[in-house]
Amino acid sequence: MEGDTLMNIISPDYYKRGNIEVTDFILDQSMSFLEGNIVKYLVRHKEKSGIDDLRKARWYLDKLIEEQLKHGEENKLRRLT
């Protein structure tokens, strides 16, 4: 970590591609923790950990699906308000 600034550690270049930083997109869309992690790992997989990041994204997606099935109607109503 020598020579790295705190911002380079928190916000590396692979989160800054395009017109909006990944964190800003997640916040703008009011994503949950699970949803945000899915996006994060999908965005960075080509630049960081490849298949491992895709597996992490899949784990969070499976968890989100599980939660939606468990609390499906309640979650739909919460999103509409």
Q: What is the pLDDT of residues 16-34, one digit of tens each?
A: 666 788 899 899 999 999 9
What integer best gives the mean pLDDT of the chain?
81
Q: CA 39 from chain center: how many Å?
A: 3
pLDDT at 80: 45
Q: Is the pLDDT of residue 70 over 80?
A: yes
* Cβ atoms 63, 34 nearer than 8 A: yes
pLDDT at 49: 83
DSSP 8-state class, residue 13 = G
Tokens read off for 20 = 């909006």
Q: Is the pLDDT of residue 7 over 90?
A: no
Q: How confident is the model at residue 48 (pLDDT cuts 50, 70, 90)?
A: confident
Range of the domain at 55: 6-80
Number of domains in the chain: 1
Assigned domain for 38 exists: yes
